[in-house]
Amino acid sequence: MSVATRPRYAVVVHLYGEGRFGGASTLAAAIARCLGTVADVDVLTTCAQNYMTWQNVYAAGHSLVEGVHVRRFPVDNRRNVGNFNRLSRQLLATANPSEEMQETWMRAQGPVSGELLGYLETFGKRYDAVLFFSYLYADTYYGLPLVEDRAFLFPLAHDEWPLRLSIWDRFFARPHGFFFNSPEEREFLRSRFPSLDLEGPIAGLGIEVPANIEPNRFREQANLREPFLLYVGRVDPSKGCDNLIEDFARYRAGGGRYRNLVLIGDIHMPLRPVAGVHVIGPVDEQTKWNALAASEVLVMPSRYESLSIAVLEAWALEKPVLVNALSPALVGQCRRARAGLWYANSDEFSVTLDTFEKPLAQRLGAEGRAFVAANYTWPRVMSVLQSRLSGARG
């Protein structure tokens, strides 16, 4: 009597294993844990901890992270930020950059791990499918072509200048299949690559609210008794955090109702003291959920998103959200959920925030919770993943 074997999948992502918020690493970890309930999953990643340097921090080799088998490979070279920025400026200033120039930039972007690429080339066919997270990094750009007959790409794409490079025209024709984070991401990529057949389902992820959440504990830890706005994510200019702080300072100086803004996440920008701005920095998952429960409104100022996990988590706790109107994905999330508002400039930021009176905030929060419960559960995500990946088994 034959016994059905479990499928075997690889998840390839540039960083893995830290409690970071948002981004490819968080999504890759969630999908790896989900697939691990029905398949044998290997996460193939680097020894780096920080995308700014790609310095090897973790030991190379095997480990278990939250029950998932992880294999780490060393990065060949640390990133030279000054050199990378110079190459970026040169690339932006060149009308028709050569492929050689673009790939020089890609190698500087990193992470390049010869051992990881060698493993994919030698052992990639052991896997029924290889899932790559984020189109933007060198591990995906150089790794995916080695296993393209079984490669599935989570692009995590939005309208940013690197995606206009011509090297992507050939690259996006390579994957066996795609998974997208939102309808807006899929439509954007179809408009960017009109000659390609970019088919694939909207996968997303499941949102699981912890059993015990203690909002008062966060208020005590942060020494905050008044209502506050919350940002959760990488504190970085590329995420709009510099503009968020400036907009909040103007709003507060103009007598805005909310007198405090809390920033939670890894710090990637210089910060000066600003009245009412509380920089908490990175926290563990429990503290993050406590902060979400304690907050009044989640603010997401980034314009470059394919999906905001923090927005979904806020809605799961019936919190309304305010997002950047220049992000089609975030506005699309809010429209579909009927659970958030958006702003396009500093004046709209101030005016819109003060519309979050209790009846409106409660209605938006309730709509958000219902939206997440209907669309962002692990059984639904598992159904999408298994349906698409089942055809990859040969």
Bridge partners, residue 167, by sequence: none
Question: What is the secondary structure of 93-115 as a DSSP string?
Answer: H-SS--HHHHHHHHHHH----HH
pLDDT of 24 over the 50 cut:
yes
Residues 154, 133 contacting (CB under 8 angstroms): yes
Tell me the C-alpha to C-alpha distance, in Å, between residue 195 and each of 189, 281, 357: 11, 44, 47
**How many Å apart are CA 111 and CA 57, to the nearest integer?**
13
Nearest CA-CA partner of 233 in 294, 300, 296: 300
pLDDT of 320 over the 50 cut:
yes
Domain 8-203: state its class.
alpha beta
Tokens for 105, please give them.
């930039």
What number of residues does the chain have?
A: 394
Sequence letter at residue 7: P
pLDDT of 317 over the 80 cut:
yes
Q: Is the Cα dihedral 42, 43, 44, 46 positive or negative?
A: negative
pLDDT of 2 over the 70 cut:
no
Sequence letter at residue 218: F
**How many Å apart are CA 236 and CA 300, to the nearest integer?**
12
Residue 25: left (phi > 0), alpha (psi -120 to 50), or beta? alpha
Encode pLDDT of 103-150 as tens digits.
Answer: 999 999 999 999 999 999 999 999 999 999 999 999 999 999 999 999
Domains in the chain: boundaries: 8-203, 215-375
Question: What is the secondary structure of 133-155 as a DSSP string?
Answer: E-TTSHHHHHHGGGGGGGEEEE-
Predicted confidence band at 342 (pLDDT cuts at 50, 70, 90)? very high
- Is the domain spanning 215-375 CATH 3.30.360.10? The answer is no
Backbone angles phi, psi at 175, to 5 degrees: -60, 145
Predicted confidence band at 4 (pLDDT cuts at 50, 70, 90)? low
**Coil, strand, or helix at residue 117?**
helix
Q: How crowded is residue 392: how many other Cβ atoms within 10 Å of its Cβ?
A: 18
Predicted confidence band at 17 (pLDDT cuts at 50, 70, 90)? confident
pLDDT of 387 over the 60 cut:
yes
Predicted confidence band at 306 (pLDDT cuts at 50, 70, 90)? confident
Position 90 scores a pLDDT of 96
pLDDT of 277 over the 50 cut:
yes
**How many Å apart are CA 128 and CA 34, to the nearest integer?**
16
pTM value is: 0.87
Mean pLDDT of the chain: 94
pLDDT of 236 over the 70 cut:
yes
* Percent of the chain residues topping a pLDDT of 90: 88
- The larger pLDDT score, comparing residue 266 to residue 247, is at 247
Position 135 scores a pLDDT of 97
DSSP 159: S
pLDDT of 72 over the 70 cut:
yes
Predicted confidence band at 21 (pLDDT cuts at 50, 70, 90)? very low
**Sheet of 297-300: strands edge to edge?**
277-281, 261-264, 229-232, 297-300, 321-324, 340-343
Bridge partners, residue 72, by sequence: 45, 61
Residues 135, 157 contacting (CB under 8 angstroms): yes
Residues 344, 238 contacting (CB under 8 angstroms): no
Position 187 scores a pLDDT of 94
Predicted confidence band at 5 (pLDDT cuts at 50, 70, 90)? confident
Position 52 scores a pLDDT of 87
Position 3 scores a pLDDT of 44
Query: Cis peptide leading into 183, omega within 30 of 0?
Result: no
Position 357 scores a pLDDT of 87
Place of tokens 């919770």: 369
* Percent of the chain residues topping a pLDDT of 70: 97
Bridge partners, residue 177, by sequence: 152
pLDDT of 18 over the 80 cut:
no
pLDDT of 343 over the 50 cut:
yes
8-203 and 215-375 agree in CATH topology:
yes
Runs of H (alpha helix) within 193-236: 215-222
**How many Å apart are CA 125 and CA 330, to the nearest integer?**
37
Half-sphere exposure of 160 (CA within 13 A, CB side): 17
pLDDT of 243 over the 90 cut:
yes
Place of tokens 């409690």: 19
Predicted confidence band at 393 (pLDDT cuts at 50, 70, 90)? low
Encode pLDDT of 48-62 as tens digits.
Answer: 998 889 999 999 999
